[in-house]
Structure 1
Protein backbone atom coordinates (compact mmCIF):
# COMPACT_ATOMS: atom_id res chain seq x y z
CA UNK A 1 0.00 0.00 0.00
CA UNK A 2 1.32 3.41 -0.95
CA UNK A 3 1.24 5.89 1.91
CA UNK A 4 1.64 9.61 1.40
CA UNK A 5 1.59 12.38 3.98
CA UNK A 6 -1.41 14.66 3.95
CA UNK A 7 -0.82 18.26 2.99
CA UNK A 8 -2.02 19.18 6.48
CA UNK A 9 0.20 16.83 8.46
CA UNK A 10 -1.66 17.02 11.75
CA UNK A 11 -5.18 16.73 13.12
CA UNK A 12 -6.82 19.57 15.13
CA UNK A 13 -5.49 17.85 18.26
CA UNK A 14 -1.94 17.90 16.86
CA UNK A 15 -1.67 14.20 15.83
CA UNK A 16 0.28 13.24 12.70
CA UNK A 17 -2.02 12.14 9.87
CA UNK A 18 -1.64 10.12 6.65
CA UNK A 19 -3.69 9.07 3.64
CA UNK A 20 -3.72 5.84 1.65
CA UNK A 21 -2.41 6.41 -1.86
CA UNK A 22 -4.65 3.60 -3.15
CA UNK A 23 -8.08 4.25 -1.58
CA UNK A 24 -7.59 7.80 -0.31
CA UNK A 25 -8.67 6.93 3.22
CA UNK A 26 -7.34 9.32 5.83
CA UNK A 27 -6.11 8.07 9.19
CA UNK A 28 -3.77 8.88 12.07
CA UNK A 29 -2.02 7.03 14.87
CA UNK A 30 -5.22 7.01 16.95
CA UNK A 31 -7.52 5.57 14.28
CA UNK A 32 -9.21 2.39 15.51
CA UNK A 33 -8.66 3.22 19.18
CA UNK A 34 -10.98 4.77 21.77
CA UNK A 35 -9.06 8.01 21.17
CA UNK A 36 -10.31 8.20 17.58
CA UNK A 37 -12.03 11.53 16.80
CA UNK A 38 -10.83 12.92 20.14
CA UNK A 39 -10.29 16.63 19.66
CA UNK A 40 -8.18 17.16 22.76
CA UNK A 41 -4.43 16.83 23.18
CA UNK A 42 -3.21 13.45 24.37
CA UNK A 43 -1.66 14.89 27.54
CA UNK A 44 -5.19 15.68 28.79
CA UNK A 45 -6.07 12.02 28.35
CA UNK A 46 -3.02 10.99 30.36
CA UNK A 47 -4.11 13.24 33.24
CA UNK A 48 -7.68 11.94 32.96
CA UNK A 49 -6.57 8.29 33.06
CA UNK A 50 -4.36 8.97 36.07
CA UNK A 51 -7.43 10.41 37.85
CA UNK A 52 -9.55 7.42 36.78
CA UNK A 53 -6.98 5.11 38.36
CA UNK A 54 -7.92 6.74 41.67
CA UNK A 55 -11.68 6.79 40.88
CA UNK A 56 -11.85 10.59 41.09
CA UNK A 57 -15.29 12.22 40.71
CA UNK A 58 -16.26 13.52 37.26
CA UNK A 59 -16.50 17.16 38.36
CA UNK A 60 -12.90 17.05 39.61
CA UNK A 61 -11.73 15.22 36.45
CA UNK A 62 -13.40 17.84 34.25
CA UNK A 63 -11.85 20.77 36.11
CA UNK A 64 -8.34 19.32 36.34
CA UNK A 65 -8.34 18.32 32.65
CA UNK A 66 -9.91 21.55 31.41
CA UNK A 67 -12.89 19.79 29.79
CA UNK A 68 -16.67 19.92 30.24
CA UNK A 69 -18.61 17.57 32.51
CA UNK A 70 -20.22 16.01 29.41
CA UNK A 71 -16.82 15.38 27.83
CA UNK A 72 -15.49 13.87 31.07
CA UNK A 73 -18.52 11.55 31.17
CA UNK A 74 -17.93 10.44 27.59
CA UNK A 75 -14.21 9.89 28.22
CA UNK A 76 -14.99 7.75 31.25
CA UNK A 77 -17.26 5.52 29.19
CA UNK A 78 -14.78 5.39 26.31
CA UNK A 79 -12.22 4.01 28.76
CA UNK A 80 -14.70 1.56 30.28
CA UNK A 81 -15.68 0.33 26.81
CA UNK A 82 -12.17 -1.14 26.50
CA UNK A 83 -12.79 -3.48 29.45
CA UNK A 84 -16.22 -4.74 28.37
CA UNK A 85 -15.76 -8.49 28.32
CA UNK A 86 -12.51 -8.25 30.31
CA UNK A 87 -13.85 -10.51 33.05
CA UNK A 88 -14.90 -13.13 30.52
CA UNK A 89 -11.25 -14.18 30.34
CA UNK A 90 -10.70 -14.44 34.10
CA UNK A 91 -10.62 -17.95 35.58
CA UNK A 92 -9.86 -18.36 39.28
CA UNK A 93 -8.18 -21.48 40.56
CA UNK A 94 -6.64 -23.15 43.60
CA UNK A 95 -8.19 -21.65 46.72
CA UNK A 96 -11.24 -19.57 45.78
CA UNK A 97 -13.50 -17.53 48.07
CA UNK A 98 -17.03 -16.65 46.92
CA UNK A 99 -19.82 -14.47 48.34
CA UNK A 100 -22.52 -11.97 47.43
CA UNK A 101 -22.93 -8.29 48.20
CA UNK A 102 -25.89 -5.99 47.63
CA UNK A 103 -26.50 -2.41 46.53
CA UNK A 104 -29.81 -0.54 46.56
CA UNK A 105 -31.52 -0.26 43.21
CA UNK A 106 -31.84 3.51 43.29
CA UNK A 107 -33.82 3.43 40.05
CA UNK A 108 -36.78 2.01 41.99
CA UNK A 109 -36.82 5.05 44.28
CA UNK A 110 -38.46 6.99 41.46
CA UNK A 111 -41.52 4.74 41.47
CA UNK A 112 -44.57 6.26 43.24
CA UNK A 113 -45.11 3.14 45.34
CA UNK A 114 -41.48 2.62 46.32
CA UNK A 115 -40.75 2.14 50.01
CA UNK A 116 -37.41 1.05 51.51
CA UNK A 117 -37.56 -2.53 52.78
CA UNK A 118 -35.46 -4.39 55.29
CA UNK A 119 -33.43 -7.46 54.45
CA UNK A 120 -32.53 -8.80 51.01
CA UNK A 121 -35.59 -7.54 49.17
CA UNK A 122 -35.94 -7.24 45.41
CA UNK A 123 -34.99 -3.58 45.79
CA UNK A 124 -31.39 -4.78 46.17
CA UNK A 125 -29.10 -5.61 43.28
CA UNK A 126 -26.97 -8.68 43.94
CA UNK A 127 -23.31 -8.72 42.92
CA UNK A 128 -21.58 -12.11 42.96
CA UNK A 129 -17.90 -11.80 43.85
CA UNK A 130 -14.98 -14.19 43.96
CA UNK A 131 -11.25 -13.97 44.66
CA UNK A 132 -8.47 -16.55 44.66
CA UNK A 133 -5.19 -16.82 46.55
CA UNK A 134 -3.35 -15.03 43.73
CA UNK A 135 -5.75 -12.07 44.15
CA UNK A 136 -7.50 -12.45 40.84
CA UNK A 137 -11.01 -11.07 41.28
CA UNK A 138 -14.41 -11.39 39.65
CA UNK A 139 -17.48 -9.17 40.27
CA UNK A 140 -20.63 -9.90 38.29
CA UNK A 141 -24.11 -8.38 38.46
CA UNK A 142 -26.45 -11.18 39.51
CA UNK A 143 -30.05 -9.93 39.35
CA UNK A 144 -32.18 -8.63 42.22
CA UNK A 145 -32.59 -10.06 45.70
CA UNK A 146 -31.09 -13.23 47.10
CA UNK A 147 -29.72 -15.30 44.21
CA UNK A 148 -30.84 -18.78 43.27
CA UNK A 149 -28.41 -21.61 42.56
CA UNK A 150 -29.00 -21.06 38.83
CA UNK A 151 -28.09 -17.37 39.02
CA UNK A 152 -24.94 -18.07 41.04
CA UNK A 153 -23.81 -20.67 38.50
CA UNK A 154 -24.51 -18.34 35.58
CA UNK A 155 -22.47 -15.61 37.26
CA UNK A 156 -19.48 -17.56 38.59
CA UNK A 157 -19.25 -20.96 36.90
CA UNK A 158 -17.32 -19.65 33.85
CA UNK A 159 -14.77 -18.04 36.19
CA UNK A 160 -13.78 -20.96 38.44
CA UNK A 161 -11.46 -23.75 37.36
CA UNK A 162 -12.50 -27.36 37.81
CA UNK A 163 -11.29 -28.92 41.06
CA UNK A 164 -10.85 -25.62 42.90
CA UNK A 165 -11.06 -25.45 46.68
CA UNK A 166 -14.06 -23.22 47.31
CA UNK A 167 -14.60 -21.34 50.58
CA UNK A 168 -18.13 -20.02 51.17
CA UNK A 169 -20.63 -19.14 53.92
CA UNK A 170 -22.89 -22.19 53.50
CA UNK A 171 -25.55 -20.53 51.34
CA UNK A 172 -27.59 -23.25 49.62
CA UNK A 173 -26.99 -21.67 46.24
CA UNK A 174 -23.25 -22.20 46.66
CA UNK A 175 -23.46 -25.98 46.89
CA UNK A 176 -24.56 -26.45 43.30
CA UNK A 177 -21.66 -24.27 42.13
CA UNK A 178 -19.16 -26.41 44.08
CA UNK A 179 -20.67 -29.54 42.54
CA UNK A 180 -20.65 -28.05 39.04
CA UNK A 181 -16.91 -27.33 39.15
CA UNK A 182 -16.22 -30.63 40.93
CA UNK A 183 -14.57 -28.58 43.60
CA UNK A 184 -13.47 -29.19 47.16
CA UNK A 185 -16.16 -27.87 49.50
CA UNK A 186 -14.94 -25.59 52.31
CA UNK A 187 -18.12 -24.28 54.01
CA UNK A 188 -17.95 -21.93 56.98
CA UNK A 189 -21.08 -20.81 58.82
CA UNK A 190 -21.53 -17.05 58.65
CA UNK A 191 -21.10 -15.64 62.16
CA UNK A 192 -19.30 -12.34 62.63
CA UNK A 193 -18.68 -13.26 66.28
CA UNK A 194 -16.78 -16.39 65.29
CA UNK A 195 -13.03 -15.72 64.87
CA UNK A 196 -12.68 -18.84 62.72
CA UNK A 197 -15.30 -17.57 60.26
CA UNK A 198 -13.68 -14.13 60.11
CA UNK A 199 -10.29 -15.70 59.43
CA UNK A 200 -11.47 -18.15 56.75
CA UNK A 201 -13.62 -15.62 54.90
CA UNK A 202 -11.40 -12.54 55.31
CA UNK A 203 -10.32 -12.55 51.64
CA UNK A 204 -13.80 -12.26 50.19
CA UNK A 205 -15.19 -10.11 53.02
CA UNK A 206 -12.44 -7.59 52.36
CA UNK A 207 -13.20 -7.73 48.64
CA UNK A 208 -16.87 -6.94 49.31
CA UNK A 209 -15.81 -3.94 51.40
CA UNK A 210 -13.46 -2.70 48.68
CA UNK A 211 -16.10 -3.01 45.94
CA UNK A 212 -18.72 -1.29 48.11
CA UNK A 213 -16.35 1.59 48.86
CA UNK A 214 -15.52 1.86 45.15
CA UNK A 215 -19.18 2.04 44.09
CA UNK A 216 -19.98 4.68 46.72
CA UNK A 217 -17.64 6.99 44.86
CA UNK A 218 -20.05 7.08 41.93
CA UNK A 219 -23.09 8.77 43.43
CA UNK A 220 -26.00 8.88 41.00
CA UNK A 221 -24.61 6.13 38.74
CA UNK A 222 -27.04 4.95 36.07
CA UNK A 223 -27.35 1.29 37.02
CA UNK A 224 -27.53 0.18 33.40
CA UNK A 225 -23.77 0.81 33.42
CA UNK A 226 -23.15 -1.11 36.67
CA UNK A 227 -21.41 -4.06 35.01
CA UNK A 228 -19.10 -1.69 33.14
CA UNK A 229 -18.06 -0.15 36.46
CA UNK A 230 -17.47 -3.63 37.89
CA UNK A 231 -15.37 -4.57 34.84
CA UNK A 232 -13.25 -1.45 35.34
CA UNK A 233 -12.82 -2.31 39.03
CA UNK A 234 -11.67 -5.87 38.23
CA UNK A 235 -9.23 -4.57 35.61
CA UNK A 236 -7.88 -1.82 37.85
CA UNK A 237 -7.52 -4.25 40.76
CA UNK A 238 -5.11 -6.32 38.68
CA UNK A 239 -3.24 -3.25 37.44
CA UNK A 240 -2.70 -2.00 40.99
CA UNK A 241 -1.76 -5.50 42.16
CA UNK A 242 1.12 -5.54 39.67
CA UNK A 243 2.04 -1.86 40.12
CA UNK A 244 5.61 -2.65 41.19
CA UNK A 245 6.20 -4.57 37.95
CA UNK A 246 4.20 -2.37 35.55
CA UNK A 247 3.52 1.33 36.33
CA UNK A 248 -0.28 1.58 36.30
CA UNK A 249 -0.81 4.67 34.11
CA UNK A 250 1.56 3.41 31.41
CA UNK A 251 -0.08 -0.02 31.54
CA UNK A 252 -3.59 1.43 31.22
CA UNK A 253 -2.52 3.64 28.31
CA UNK A 254 -1.01 0.65 26.52
CA UNK A 255 -4.25 -1.26 27.06
CA UNK A 256 -6.35 1.60 25.67
CA UNK A 257 -4.21 1.96 22.54
CA UNK A 258 -4.36 -1.78 21.82
CA UNK A 259 -8.01 -2.42 22.71
CA UNK A 260 -10.40 -3.05 19.84
CA UNK A 261 -13.25 -1.04 21.33
CA UNK A 262 -15.40 1.99 20.65
CA UNK A 263 -18.03 4.02 22.45
CA UNK A 264 -20.87 5.93 20.85
CA UNK A 265 -23.15 8.18 22.86
CA UNK A 266 -26.16 10.33 22.09
CA UNK A 267 -26.04 13.60 24.00
CA UNK A 268 -29.82 13.79 23.84
CA UNK A 269 -30.28 10.33 25.30
CA UNK A 270 -27.51 9.98 27.89
CA UNK A 271 -27.35 12.19 30.96
CA UNK A 272 -23.75 12.66 32.19
CA UNK A 273 -25.00 13.38 35.70
CA UNK A 274 -26.41 9.85 36.06
CA UNK A 275 -23.72 7.61 34.68
Structure 2
Protein backbone atom coordinates (compact mmCIF):
# COMPACT_ATOMS: atom_id res chain seq x y z
CA UNK A 1 0.00 0.00 0.00
CA UNK A 2 1.36 3.44 -0.91
CA UNK A 3 0.33 6.22 1.48
CA UNK A 4 2.51 8.90 -0.09
CA UNK A 5 4.06 11.50 2.20
CA UNK A 6 2.88 10.78 5.75
CA UNK A 7 2.73 12.72 9.01
CA UNK A 8 2.33 10.82 12.29
CA UNK A 9 1.56 12.95 15.33
CA UNK A 10 2.39 11.18 18.56
CA UNK A 11 4.69 8.89 16.58
CA UNK A 12 7.08 8.41 19.50
CA UNK A 13 4.32 7.31 21.86
CA UNK A 14 2.91 3.93 22.85
CA UNK A 15 0.57 3.33 19.91
CA UNK A 16 2.32 5.78 17.59
CA UNK A 17 5.67 3.99 17.71
CA UNK A 18 4.06 0.76 16.48
CA UNK A 19 2.15 2.63 13.78
CA UNK A 20 5.33 4.43 12.71
CA UNK A 21 7.05 1.13 11.93
CA UNK A 22 4.22 0.17 9.58
CA UNK A 23 3.94 3.66 8.07
CA UNK A 24 7.62 3.58 7.11
CA UNK A 25 6.95 0.36 5.18
CA UNK A 26 4.02 1.86 3.27
CA UNK A 27 4.99 5.43 2.37
CA UNK A 28 7.41 7.62 0.46
CA UNK A 29 8.37 9.59 3.56
CA UNK A 30 7.28 9.89 7.20
CA UNK A 31 7.45 12.94 9.44
CA UNK A 32 6.85 12.47 13.17
CA UNK A 33 5.50 15.27 15.35
CA UNK A 34 5.94 14.60 19.05
CA UNK A 35 7.04 16.28 22.27
CA UNK A 36 9.41 13.37 22.89
CA UNK A 37 12.90 13.89 21.48
CA UNK A 38 13.23 10.84 19.22
CA UNK A 39 11.32 8.17 17.33
CA UNK A 40 12.68 6.07 14.42
CA UNK A 41 15.99 6.83 12.65
CA UNK A 42 14.32 6.55 9.23
CA UNK A 43 11.68 9.17 10.04
CA UNK A 44 12.00 12.93 10.00
CA UNK A 45 11.43 13.81 13.65
CA UNK A 46 10.04 17.19 14.76
CA UNK A 47 9.79 18.10 18.43
CA UNK A 48 6.68 20.26 18.30
CA UNK A 49 3.54 21.00 20.29
CA UNK A 50 0.51 20.48 18.05
CA UNK A 51 -1.29 23.36 19.79
CA UNK A 52 1.38 25.73 18.40
CA UNK A 53 -0.02 26.49 14.93
CA UNK A 54 2.88 28.69 13.82
CA UNK A 55 5.46 26.01 14.61
CA UNK A 56 3.45 23.38 12.76
CA UNK A 57 3.14 25.49 9.62
CA UNK A 58 6.79 26.55 9.73
CA UNK A 59 8.23 23.05 10.14
CA UNK A 60 5.92 20.51 8.52
CA UNK A 61 6.76 19.50 4.93
CA UNK A 62 4.97 21.25 2.08
CA UNK A 63 3.77 18.00 0.57
CA UNK A 64 1.53 15.84 2.78
CA UNK A 65 -0.80 13.08 1.59
CA UNK A 66 -1.86 11.24 4.76
CA UNK A 67 -1.99 12.32 8.41
CA UNK A 68 -2.22 9.85 11.29
CA UNK A 69 -3.20 11.98 14.26
CA UNK A 70 -2.46 10.30 17.59
CA UNK A 71 -0.91 13.12 19.63
CA UNK A 72 -3.18 13.87 22.59
CA UNK A 73 -3.47 14.10 26.32
CA UNK A 74 -5.29 10.87 27.11
CA UNK A 75 -5.60 10.78 30.89
CA UNK A 76 -9.19 11.13 32.07
CA UNK A 77 -7.96 12.27 35.49
CA UNK A 78 -5.73 14.93 33.91
CA UNK A 79 -8.68 16.16 31.89
CA UNK A 80 -10.71 16.61 35.07
CA UNK A 81 -7.87 18.42 36.84
CA UNK A 82 -6.77 20.50 33.83
CA UNK A 83 -9.64 20.72 31.32
CA UNK A 84 -8.25 23.82 29.62
CA UNK A 85 -4.86 22.24 29.00
CA UNK A 86 -6.43 19.10 27.60
CA UNK A 87 -8.68 21.23 25.39
CA UNK A 88 -5.66 23.10 23.99
CA UNK A 89 -3.91 19.87 23.00
CA UNK A 90 -6.82 17.73 21.93
CA UNK A 91 -9.13 20.28 20.29
CA UNK A 92 -6.92 23.20 19.26
CA UNK A 93 -4.19 20.76 18.22
CA UNK A 94 -6.63 18.82 16.04
CA UNK A 95 -7.93 22.03 14.48
CA UNK A 96 -4.35 23.01 13.65
CA UNK A 97 -3.71 19.65 11.98
CA UNK A 98 -6.91 19.95 9.96
CA UNK A 99 -5.79 23.38 8.77
CA UNK A 100 -2.44 21.91 7.76
CA UNK A 101 -4.33 19.24 5.82
CA UNK A 102 -6.55 21.83 4.13
CA UNK A 103 -3.79 24.23 3.15
CA UNK A 104 -1.28 21.61 2.05
CA UNK A 105 -3.65 19.39 0.14
CA UNK A 106 -3.59 16.30 2.36
CA UNK A 107 -6.39 14.04 1.21
CA UNK A 108 -6.63 11.76 4.24
CA UNK A 109 -6.57 12.13 8.03
CA UNK A 110 -7.10 9.31 10.51
CA UNK A 111 -7.76 10.26 14.14
CA UNK A 112 -7.16 8.20 17.26
CA UNK A 113 -10.44 8.55 19.13
CA UNK A 114 -12.16 6.67 21.95
CA UNK A 115 -15.46 5.07 22.83
CA UNK A 116 -15.58 7.57 25.71
CA UNK A 117 -17.21 9.93 23.19
CA UNK A 118 -20.47 8.04 23.68
CA UNK A 119 -20.34 7.96 27.48
CA UNK A 120 -22.09 5.27 29.49
CA UNK A 121 -24.55 3.16 27.54
CA UNK A 122 -26.98 1.53 30.00
CA UNK A 123 -27.48 -1.56 27.85
CA UNK A 124 -26.23 -3.17 24.67
CA UNK A 125 -23.01 -2.98 22.73
CA UNK A 126 -21.36 0.25 21.62
CA UNK A 127 -21.60 0.83 17.87
CA UNK A 128 -20.73 3.71 15.58
CA UNK A 129 -24.35 4.91 15.63
CA UNK A 130 -24.42 5.62 19.37
CA UNK A 131 -25.02 9.35 20.03
CA UNK A 132 -22.16 11.51 21.31
CA UNK A 133 -22.67 11.87 25.09
CA UNK A 134 -19.21 12.16 26.68
CA UNK A 135 -19.05 12.31 30.48
CA UNK A 136 -15.54 13.77 30.97
CA UNK A 137 -13.51 16.64 29.56
CA UNK A 138 -11.29 14.05 27.85
CA UNK A 139 -14.22 12.37 26.13
CA UNK A 140 -15.62 15.77 25.19
CA UNK A 141 -12.37 16.86 23.53
CA UNK A 142 -12.27 13.67 21.47
CA UNK A 143 -15.90 14.16 20.44
CA UNK A 144 -15.08 17.74 19.43
CA UNK A 145 -12.14 16.50 17.37
CA UNK A 146 -14.41 14.09 15.51
CA UNK A 147 -16.96 16.83 14.80
CA UNK A 148 -14.25 19.17 13.49
CA UNK A 149 -12.93 16.45 11.22
CA UNK A 150 -16.44 15.82 9.90
CA UNK A 151 -16.76 19.51 9.03
CA UNK A 152 -13.45 19.52 7.16
CA UNK A 153 -14.57 16.43 5.26
CA UNK A 154 -17.84 18.05 4.23
CA UNK A 155 -16.41 21.47 3.36
CA UNK A 156 -12.97 20.66 1.96
CA UNK A 157 -13.12 17.04 0.86
CA UNK A 158 -10.53 15.75 3.34
CA UNK A 159 -11.38 12.11 4.01
CA UNK A 160 -11.44 11.61 7.78
CA UNK A 161 -11.73 8.39 9.75
CA UNK A 162 -12.05 8.31 13.53
CA UNK A 163 -10.78 5.13 15.16
CA UNK A 164 -12.66 4.71 18.44
CA UNK A 165 -10.22 2.55 20.36
CA UNK A 166 -11.07 0.39 23.35
CA UNK A 167 -8.42 -0.36 26.04
CA UNK A 168 -5.14 -0.73 24.16
CA UNK A 169 -2.36 -2.86 25.68
CA UNK A 170 0.92 -4.29 24.44
CA UNK A 171 4.65 -3.81 24.21
CA UNK A 172 5.94 -0.35 25.05
CA UNK A 173 3.34 0.51 27.68
CA UNK A 174 5.60 0.20 30.71
CA UNK A 175 5.20 3.87 31.64
CA UNK A 176 1.43 3.90 31.20
CA UNK A 177 -0.94 3.98 34.18
CA UNK A 178 -3.76 1.84 32.80
CA UNK A 179 -4.83 -1.43 34.40
CA UNK A 180 -2.53 -3.84 32.52
CA UNK A 181 0.77 -2.10 33.41
CA UNK A 182 -0.46 -1.51 36.97
CA UNK A 183 -1.08 -5.24 37.35
CA UNK A 184 2.31 -6.04 35.86
CA UNK A 185 4.06 -3.64 38.23
CA UNK A 186 2.28 -5.44 41.06
CA UNK A 187 3.45 -8.80 39.69
CA UNK A 188 7.02 -7.47 39.87
CA UNK A 189 6.49 -6.39 43.49
CA UNK A 190 6.84 -2.72 42.58
CA UNK A 191 3.36 -1.58 43.60
CA UNK A 192 0.05 -2.73 45.02
CA UNK A 193 -3.31 -3.19 43.32
CA UNK A 194 -6.83 -2.50 44.54
CA UNK A 195 -10.08 -3.84 43.13
CA UNK A 196 -12.95 -1.39 43.32
CA UNK A 197 -16.16 -3.10 44.35
CA UNK A 198 -16.74 -6.70 43.32
CA UNK A 199 -14.30 -6.69 40.38
CA UNK A 200 -16.95 -7.74 37.90
CA UNK A 201 -16.67 -4.46 35.96
CA UNK A 202 -15.82 -5.45 32.39
CA UNK A 203 -13.91 -3.82 29.55
CA UNK A 204 -12.78 -4.60 26.00
CA UNK A 205 -9.01 -4.98 25.42
CA UNK A 206 -7.26 -4.71 22.07
CA UNK A 207 -3.61 -5.45 21.25
CA UNK A 208 -1.47 -2.49 20.19
CA UNK A 209 -0.04 -4.08 17.05
CA UNK A 210 -3.55 -4.90 15.86
CA UNK A 211 -4.46 -1.24 16.44
CA UNK A 212 -1.44 -0.01 14.48
CA UNK A 213 -2.34 -2.38 11.66
CA UNK A 214 -5.94 -1.09 11.73
CA UNK A 215 -4.75 2.46 11.01
CA UNK A 216 -2.88 1.26 7.93
CA UNK A 217 -5.73 -0.95 6.77
CA UNK A 218 -8.28 1.86 7.08
CA UNK A 219 -5.97 4.33 5.35
CA UNK A 220 -6.32 2.15 2.28
CA UNK A 221 -10.12 2.50 2.23
CA UNK A 222 -12.43 5.36 1.31
CA UNK A 223 -14.42 5.00 4.55
CA UNK A 224 -15.16 8.21 6.42
CA UNK A 225 -16.55 8.63 9.92
CA UNK A 226 -16.23 6.69 13.18
CA UNK A 227 -15.21 3.05 13.42
CA UNK A 228 -14.99 1.01 16.62
CA UNK A 229 -11.63 -0.77 17.03
CA UNK A 230 -11.77 -3.49 19.65
CA UNK A 231 -11.73 -7.23 20.15
CA UNK A 232 -15.49 -7.43 20.86
CA UNK A 233 -14.65 -9.67 23.83
CA UNK A 234 -15.13 -8.02 27.22
CA UNK A 235 -13.28 -9.24 30.31
CA UNK A 236 -13.92 -8.49 33.99
CA UNK A 237 -11.26 -7.09 36.32
CA UNK A 238 -11.26 -10.37 38.23
CA UNK A 239 -10.70 -12.37 35.04
CA UNK A 240 -7.99 -9.97 33.85
CA UNK A 241 -6.09 -10.43 37.13
CA UNK A 242 -6.15 -14.19 36.53
CA UNK A 243 -4.90 -13.76 32.97
CA UNK A 244 -2.06 -11.39 33.92
CA UNK A 245 -1.10 -13.74 36.79
CA UNK A 246 -0.88 -16.59 34.29
CA UNK A 247 1.24 -14.51 31.87
CA UNK A 248 3.59 -13.42 34.67
CA UNK A 249 3.76 -16.83 36.35
CA UNK A 250 2.99 -15.34 39.77
CA UNK A 251 -0.10 -14.92 41.89
CA UNK A 252 -1.01 -11.23 41.91
CA UNK A 253 -2.15 -10.09 45.35
CA UNK A 254 -4.73 -7.35 45.73
CA UNK A 255 -7.07 -5.72 48.20
CA UNK A 256 -10.67 -4.65 47.80
CA UNK A 257 -12.02 -1.15 48.30
CA UNK A 258 -15.37 0.51 47.80
CA UNK A 259 -16.61 0.96 44.27
CA UNK A 260 -15.94 4.33 42.62
CA UNK A 261 -19.08 6.47 42.40
CA UNK A 262 -20.30 6.69 38.81
CA UNK A 263 -17.86 4.14 37.40
CA UNK A 264 -19.19 2.44 34.28
CA UNK A 265 -20.18 -1.14 35.02
CA UNK A 266 -19.09 -2.40 31.68
CA UNK A 267 -17.95 -1.63 28.14
CA UNK A 268 -18.93 -3.98 25.36
CA UNK A 269 -18.40 -3.10 21.70
CA UNK A 270 -19.55 -4.34 18.32
CA UNK A 271 -16.69 -4.41 15.80
CA UNK A 272 -18.77 -5.60 12.84
CA UNK A 273 -18.09 -2.45 10.81
CA UNK A 274 -14.32 -2.61 11.24
CA UNK A 275 -14.28 -6.25 10.15
CA UNK A 276 -16.35 -5.40 7.06
CA UNK A 277 -13.75 -2.74 6.19
CA UNK A 278 -10.93 -5.27 6.28
CA UNK A 279 -9.58 -4.63 9.78
CA UNK A 280 -8.14 -7.76 11.40
CA UNK A 281 -8.11 -7.87 15.20
CA UNK A 282 -6.72 -11.36 15.63
CA UNK A 283 -4.43 -11.38 18.68
CA UNK A 284 -6.02 -13.29 21.55
CA UNK A 285 -5.82 -11.58 24.93
CA UNK A 286 -3.77 -14.38 26.52
CA UNK A 287 -1.22 -14.27 23.69
CA UNK A 288 -1.03 -10.48 23.78
CA UNK A 289 -0.58 -10.39 27.55
CA UNK A 290 2.26 -12.92 27.34
CA UNK A 291 4.06 -10.71 24.80
CA UNK A 292 3.38 -7.64 26.90
CA UNK A 293 4.76 -9.30 30.04
CA UNK A 294 7.98 -10.38 28.28
CA UNK A 295 8.53 -6.80 27.17
CA UNK A 296 7.48 -5.33 30.52
CA UNK A 297 9.70 -7.44 32.77
CA UNK A 298 12.78 -6.67 30.65
CA UNK A 299 12.28 -2.90 30.89
CA UNK A 300 14.95 -1.65 33.28
CA UNK A 301 13.37 1.79 33.52
CA UNK A 302 10.48 0.24 35.45
CA UNK A 303 12.77 -1.29 38.07
CA UNK A 304 14.82 1.89 38.38
CA UNK A 305 11.85 4.27 38.70
Task: Tell me which interval the TM-score lies in, with the shorter structure as reference length.
Answer: under 0.3
Using CA pairs under 8 Å that are at least 6 residues apart, name the structure with larger relative contact order, 1 or 2. Answer: 1
- Using the size of structure 2 for normalisation, the TM-score is 0.23
